[in-house]
Amino acid sequence: MPMDKRLYPANWDEIAYRIKSEVCWTCEQCGKPCRLPGEGLIAFVNRVKDLDVLEKPTRYVLTVAHLDHQPWNCARSNLKALCAPCHCRYDLATMPLKKRLKAERLG
């Protein structure tokens, strides 16, 4: 389901950036490093080459997931920095909950 920005606090971008910075732009699920905003592939590879975590350069984007799927609940304990593949897997596993919450929001 696409993100509905109307459900998020006005400062969501700042909250998400802070969470990503706290974890050094690394997925909290799989541990893979992710690209910084505007970081080119060469700069990314140079930044992570000594981490010995990449078999080949990948372009992971770091996102922030609401563990309870309530976008207004931005308590740190409810937020987790996940790379796009891990975020998709998390959302897919909880799809019935997400659909129920959306139905409740829509009445």
pLDDT by position in tens, the chain (length 107): 567 788 899 999 999 999 999 999 999 999 989 999 999 888 888 888 877 665 665 668 999 999 998 899 999 999 999 999 999 999 888 777 767 777 777 77
Residues 33/55, Cβ–Cβ less than 8 Å = no
Q: Which two tokens stand for residue 104?
A: 């409740």
User: In terms of residue numbers, what domain contains 15?
Assistant: 5-106
Q: Decide: pTM greater than 0.85.
A: no
Residue with tokens 């590879």: 45
Count how many domains the chain has. 1
